[in-house]
């Protein structure tokens, strides 16, 4: 397991809807891979200004707490889809309080069950969101902006080994999917 997989200011990521977690894991088991973690509960707190200026500028500020792994992260995404930076923190409650002191407020709170696997230089996350479904994210982080297009091609090829096609590609962020689910009438 290596944190090198998550270094870089750019992240090329493709997210697919997964119809069968069991079939997905069967394919994964047939190829060389490493397990970083399995079935962690990730709790995310999205912060924004009262005016929602981060969201308006296609940016996200997230404090993430993962259990039972104990990993805690400060994540900034955007404004481009490929821009993502994360750093480990030791106290997520203190970080949340600091953001509130600075005038930020929680705009969305979400959780998912996540497993993370490494296949070559790529990381694959298998996620489950209540009432929304299973997803697989195929990703790589890099500081080399010139490689973004090439990595996308390679990730599409990797996803195809799992039987995933353009038809299963999910373009909406988890933030959007969760917000839409919250807005659905009961």
Instruction: Kindly list the distances between the CA atom of residue 117 and the CA atoms of 14, 18, 73, 122, 170, in Å, as whole numbers in the listed order.
Output: 15, 16, 18, 8, 20
Q: Which among 10, 46, 151, 174 is annotated as catalytic? A: 46
The Cβ of residue 113 has, within 10 Å, a number of other Cβ atoms equal to 15
Tokens of 81: 């889809």
Q: Tell which CATH architecture fits domain 3-180.
A: Beta Barrel (2.40)
Q: For residue 122, indicate whether it is catalytic.
A: no
- Per residue of the chain (186 residues), give pLDDT as tens: 455 667 777 889 999 999 999 999 999 999 999 999 999 999 999 999 999 999 999 999 999 999 999 999 999 988 987 788 889 999 999 999 999 999 999 999 999 999 999 999 999 999 999 989 999 999 998 888 899 999 999 999 999 999 999 999 999 988 889 988 877 554
Could you tell me the pTM of the whole model? 0.83
pLDDT of res. 59? 93
Q: Return the beta strands (E) in 49-153 as ranges.
A: 60-67, 72-77, 84-88, 105-119, 122-129, 133-142
Going 1 to 165 to 130 to 65, the CA torsion angle's sign is positive
């Amino acid at each position: 397991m290596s944190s090198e997989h998550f270094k870089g200011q750019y992240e090329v990521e493709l997210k697919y809807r997964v119809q069968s977690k069991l079939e997905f894991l069967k394919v994964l088991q047939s190829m060389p891979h490493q397990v970083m973690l399995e079935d962690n509960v990730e709790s995310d707190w999205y912060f924004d200004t009262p005016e929602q200026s981060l969201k308006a500028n296609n940016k996200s500020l997230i404090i993430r707490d993962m259990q039972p792994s104990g990993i805690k992260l400060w994540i900034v995404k955007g404004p481009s889809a490929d821009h993502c930076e994360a750093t480990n923190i030791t106290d997520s409650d203190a970080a949340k309080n600091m953001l509130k002191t600075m005038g930020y407020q929680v705009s969305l709170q979400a959780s998912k069950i996540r497993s993370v696997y490494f296949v070559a230089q790529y990381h694959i996350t298998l996620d489950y969101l209540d009432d929304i479904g299973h997803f697989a994210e195929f990703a790589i982080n890099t500081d080399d902006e010139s490689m973004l297009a090439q990595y996308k091609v390679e990730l599409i090829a990797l996803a195809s080994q799992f039987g995933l096609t353009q038809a299963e590609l999910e373009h909406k962020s988890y933030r959007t999917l969760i917000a839409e689910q919250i807005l659905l009438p009961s």
